Chain A
């Protein structure tokens, strides 16, 4: 054993399942490791490659695992330092079902299976971890790898199907369909179908599909007596048969069945009916696959017993978002689904805190403010919230406030564990400033609205986007009514908000170049949040308040609503709505790519087309600015 093997053993020791092994055992494994270097975008193995004799653990770098569905690459999971992957050779004999590709330059340790297998056999804990790791990625319970071998999952190795929604969900289907010849008598085929419990048979000539016989055909043509059971298959088969490519997604299969009004699809090698039969997808396969959807996630949230359960759900949610975006599902839909789940998580966090410290001594409402309230939170950004409790007698006040502060602290700390950082400015319910009685809150809002210039340090516009997460909706309604009532025709307040909205720097320079960060860790990157999204968000809120559009929080929906309310400027609003979506998408993609809030866009990584697209979506801001200036006759502060 040499000193490098020793170092590698030390490295392995930190990660599961190696932490179950002794140093002596690790040293033996380490001595047999091979070290690989993968350039960025280099593929280690891809779908249908024969299995390697090793599995892999990442020493440095990032590897993306992906599958192909509907002729498009879909990311399954990202592996980072210490993650193991490529476990298939342990459990299955067939070829790889996914592609492993380096997202950045990576150094990988290859651990030969032959060397590692004895440790698995002697150590049930290690086996458990490996199985878990494998199963996590494995399709679902019907992934009959070890079963009768009849089913096969189209994509094989899907990371956490629970989170998948049907647009990109993979399908399990029968890969060894019953094949018949044109000249076979119907009764013998029916016999075969009955024996093998399937409801279709493909009629082939040289393995090329020419027709299909299903239950329906047997019912309508044989059972009715129109043909005798001795007739040959070609007289009753449906022809031509509808064929699809391998790796078809649930949604696509469903559409094809509806369009062609059939109950079965034949999978062929190249998707035409001129190539070899690979399997059959039945309606039943679609139903089985549809058992998973975002509803399941919400259910899971409601059942969560501890913060760590929520952490897992938030992770699954991140996968869901990523896959949805990759599949080009409209951002508004994703937003809706995600904010529902987000709300459920926030709500559960409050509930868990109450379970821990006992029932509240008074009624209260936990409100989220800012992006959460606007239902625009696709990435894990920081948490912003306030707590409002009902008025109590002065002698009880102290005790009640203490309880709620405690409640808020627990809630925010749970959310922190889940991954929502605390707001930089301390805009959270656990802050003594933002945990107040109803009367105090009304006073607070009144002072903000009627004297916006004073104490302006405390006025952040995000306080004007709020929504109820948990508690008494009456309290919430009182608050929101007060805000909108006070805002009506309040010139001073709109002056203030308007100027606040206009104060942001322009996203483009005089020469129509992006204004990028000049220094700091994000040098040369474009701050899409402050320079592009915030002005739109602020603008939408401003008009929303001035037109008294109570109950609409989402920036996109606000612009859409404004286009109806203030129809002579409809075009500007609609442009802004579109721009907002495009910009949010840019930000979300950047955030997913770098696993951060996506605030800073690395322009160098954008294609020329994307850069143009980004630039174009900045155009409506100028018109919005003009509109703000003219509508609110900005003078007081300007």
Chain B
């Protein structure tokens, strides 16, 4: 509870100070985000890939996007997992620290949107902690909760595939975090207008 006291004299990395300074103004930008991780444990698992798009004025802006694979040599080595695919792909690759710095820069003060977004936020927070930074300050919206709110469902959770199915959005076989982020973006646009969120 008194976390902030611990950190009060702490010197943050430069990028984090810039990030914090962005929150003086409120943003109209949303960032839909999807992370690919090695598992579901916030402590033990790590981020392997990130895909994100900006949503401005009810449009997904394809150019305003973020996509990277995260090279986790240590993790893969310890768990004896092959990283051939990640190394061979022509997609952008970054080390964890660089990836997080670029991501934080991309997100800025936007509202984060995701599917079961708590987990995405927490695993990014875990990475931030390793870099001696604080926690994300952004507001976050969860499309599953938005959907359940729309239909007054309290006792059930829906997967991204199920939600895409409800709205007849085609799902590709080879799902990457970028494609997930794009689909979340489409779902977000649909839910947003139905719920009347400005």
Contacts and interface: CB of A to CB of B under 8 A. Distances in A.
Classify the secondary structure of B's interface with A: mixed
A110 interface: yes
Interface residues of A, number: 18
Q: Which of B59, B91, B167, B186 has the most CB of A within 10 A?
A: B59
B53 to A, nearest CB: 8
Interface in B40-88: 51, 53, 58-63, 65, 67
- Most chain A beta carbons < 10 A, residue from B53, B62, B67, B190: B62
B114 interface: no
Interface residues of B toward A: which range?
20 to 34
B179 A34 contact: no
Contacts of A2: 51, 62, 65, 67, 178
A32 B63 contact: yes
B39 to A, nearest CB: 23
Contact of A35 (B59, B67, B194): B59
Nearest to A112: B63
12 contacts: A2-B178, A3-B176, A4-B178, A5-B62, A8-B62, A31-B63, A32-B62, A35-B60, A35-B62, A36-B189, A39-B190, A39-B194
Interface of B: 51, 53, 58-63, 65, 67, 91, 167, 176, 178-179, 182, 185-186, 189-190, 193-194
Indicate the member of A3, A8, A30, A42 with the most B CB atoms within 10 Å: A3
A110 B58 CA distance: 12
Nearest to B167: A105
Chain A interface mostly: mixed
A619 to B, nearest CB: 40
Contact of A37 (B65, B91, B179, B193): B193
Given A2-B178, A3-B179, A107-B186, A36 B59 contact: yes
Report the 5 A-B pairs with minimum CB-CB distance, sorted nearest first: A34-B59, A37-B189, A35-B60, A2-B67, A4-B182
Contacts of B179: 3-4
Interface in A155-186: none
A245 interface: no
Contacts of B63: 5, 31-33
B149 to A, nearest CB: 17
A105 B190 CA distance: 9
Given A4-B182, A37-B190, A110 B59 contact: yes
B142 to A, nearest CB: 18
Contacts of A34: 59-62
A55 to B, nearest CB: 14
Interface in A420-479: none
B60 A39 contact: no
